[in-house]
Amino acid sequence: MATREGWAAIVTAAVLGCSTAASSSGTDDSLSVGSSTTGTLKDTTGTDAAPTTTVDSSASATTALTGEVSTGDAPTSVGPSGCGADVAPGPTIVQTTGGALEGQQLAGVVAFRGIRYAEPPTGDLRLRPPQPRMCAPGLTPAMELGPRCPQVEKDAQGQVVATLGDEDCLTLNVWTPATGPGNRPVLVFIHGGGNATGGSDDPLYDGAALAGGRDVVVVTLNYRLGALGFLTADALAAESPEQVSGNYGLLDQMLALQWVRDNIAGFGADPYTVMLFGESAGAVNTCSLIGSPRAKGLFDRAIVQSGSCNERTLTKYEADIAGPWLQASGCAEAPDVAGCLRGLAIADILTLQPDGYPDVAALGQGWGPHVDGAVIPKPALEAMSEGTHNMMPLMFGANAHETAKAVPPLTVAQYEALVQATFGPLAAMVLAQYPAADYGDDGQAAYVALSSDLKFICGARRAARAAEVSQISPVFRYHFAYDGYDAPPNTAKAAFHGLELVYIFANWGAVLPEPAEYEPNADDLAISQRLQGAWTRFAAAGDPAGADLPWPAYVAADDNGALLDEPPDLFNGVRTEQCDFWDMYAPG
Give me the catalytic one of 68, 119, 167, 402. 402
CB 23 within 8 A of CB 405: no
In the residue annotation, 5 being an active-site residue is answered as no
CB 384 within 8 A of CB 466: yes
Tell which residue, 30, 41, 186, 31, has the closest CA to residue 499. Answer: 41
Which letter, b or e, does each residue of 113-151 get, where b requires 16 or more Cβ atoms within 10 Å of its Cβ?
Answer: bbbbbbbbbeeebbbbbbbbbbbbeeebebeebbbbbbb
Give me the catalytic one of 497, 500, 528, 566. 497
Give me the catalytic one of 24, 200, 280, 329. 280
**Residues recorded for the chain:** 588
Per-residue CA distances from 153 to 46, 119, 150, 563 (Å)? 10, 26, 10, 35
Tell which residue, 365, 186, 150, has the closest CA to residue 263. Answer: 186
How far is Cα 279 from Cα 295, in angstroms, rounded to an integer?
18
In the residue annotation, 402 being an active-site residue is answered as yes
Query: C-alpha dihedral over 278, 280, 286, 290, to 10 degrees?
Result: 130
Contacts of 531 (CB under 8 A, 6+ apart): 500, 503, 504, 564
CB 454 within 8 A of CB 60: no
CB 505 within 8 A of CB 209: yes
Residues 234, 240, 243, CA angle at the centre, nearest 5°? Answer: 55
Per-residue CA distances from 400 to 174, 482, 563 (Å)? 31, 8, 10
Gyration radius of the chain over CA positions: 22
Residue 70's identity, in one-letter code, is S
Cα torsion angle, 157, 159, 165, 171, sign: positive
In the residue annotation, 318 being an active-site residue is answered as no
Catalytic positions are: 280, 402, 497
